[in-house]
Amino acid sequence: MTLDIATLLLAAMALDVGIALYAWALWLSCRSVRIHLWVAASATSATIGCLLYMLRQAAPDWVAIWLAQVCFIQTFAFLWAAIRLVHHRSHRLSVVWAASAVWSAACLVPPLFAAEQLRNVVATLGFTTYCLAMSVEMLRPEQARPAMNRVLAAALLWLLSGASLTLAVDSALQRDIVVPLNQAQTRAALWLMLYLVIYTVLILAVVTLELGNEAERQRRVATLDGLTGLLNRRAFFDLAGRLTAPHREMAVLMLDIDHFKRINDLEGHAAGDAALVRFATLLRRATAGEPTGDGRGPVLARFGGEEFVCLIPGGNEADGTRLGETMRRTVETDPSTPERPAMTVSIGFAAGPIRARTLDALLQAADAALYRAKHAGRNRVAGETFGGEPASSDGPRIRCA
């Protein structure tokens, strides 16, 4: 079977046109999603490049050679920009156009422009640079174990880069490489088939990675408090339900910022929001690396307003007392400024095995302990043991109430 490169170019154009039209339609319907713009630009560049290459024996050299190669280089440069956006990484336009700029500068040198073999090597180095850069993005260092689809995409990019460089070197060793499109060109046709397969896989990779990002955004909207970034009430109960089990110890702390209404009334709601964000940051700091009964870290959530909750899986009364006091001290000792008013927190906790109390009962007991802490003077920790005996803490002192 003879591979017809003209037919393969037409197939590549048809594929690229379909991808371009679909991506442009997506971007026009939602212009805030810039990934669709870069994919559309990539497919459009590929389409124009294939068309110009097919016209190489009819169009002027600066069109069929220089502009066609610019389009092929930008096909991968634009796709690299899309993958950077998928990973929430910025890019400079100067980098996106850098390889094309180098290629254009090389074409301005008459001896180089006249040597098609050398031109091919320069252009190939341009787009393979972006291919290798995309493979690095797919296997980013912070990913301990990249998913199989990422590994596959990176491997295909390496394969395309290797095949392109091999073809460029092979063509550089030939005396005359300008061959009519209707004449069999096995190596070039195989490269074009490889390009078709890999480019399609790369588009799918970008789409699936962005779908994963969108799923993560939706999950965050559904499970996280929009202001503080902590779990919201619904997500807290969903997670707590999975963590609780019969005969298991559990400790719950209810936290309430003291005199929070005063911050809102005197400083304004913007200052109140800033105080809530700062308070959530302090809670994360206080619970960072905190050991719990089952090795899982404490679970923090915002219940609403200035009320927060902390769940200690496998925790007991001692864990609740220790962590509550750590939180109280962390908030109390946080430096204040005129823009950051001082804060204190009252904390109530309850601990006991789930067989004796459901999570709701523990929350109610912790809320009752919080009420006692508030009425005992605020800025303290009050707790209820499994046997129902209340205990409280004012500063570092733990005493029976």
The residues that are catalytic are: 306
Return the structure tokens found at 186: 């096995």
Residues 6+ apart with CB under 8 A from 124: 164, 165, 167, 168
User: CA-to-CA distance for 20 and 47, rounded, in angstroms?
Assistant: 8
Of 317, 315, 306, the C-alpha closest to 276 is: 306
The DSSP element (H or E) to which 345 belongs, if any, is: strand 345-353
How many alpha carbons fall within 13 Å on the CB side of residue 13? Answer: 13
Residues in the chain, overall count: 401
CB atoms within 10 A of CB 102: 16
Please give the C-alpha separations between residue 218 and each of 213, 223, 224, 263, in angstroms, as whole numbers: 9, 9, 10, 32
Identify whether the C-beta of residue 196 lies closer than 8 Å to the C-beta of residue 261. no
The secondary structure of 18-85 as a DSSP string is HHHHHHHHHHHH-TT-HHHHHHHHHHHHHHHHHHHHHTTTTS-HIIIIIIHHHHHHHHHHHHHHHHHH
- Using DSSP bridges, classify how beta strands 307-313 and 249-257 pair: parallel, antiparallel or unpaired: antiparallel
Amino acid at 171: S
Of 140, 83, 130, 139, the C-alpha closest to 103 is: 130
What letter would DSSP give residue 295?
Answer: S
User: CA-to-CA distance for 392 and 385, rounded, in angstroms?
Assistant: 10
Please give the C-alpha separations between residue 252 and each of 192, 311, 317, 344, 353, in angstroms, as whole numbers: 62, 5, 9, 19, 11
Identify whether the C-beta of residue 337 lies closer than 8 Å to the C-beta of residue 365. no
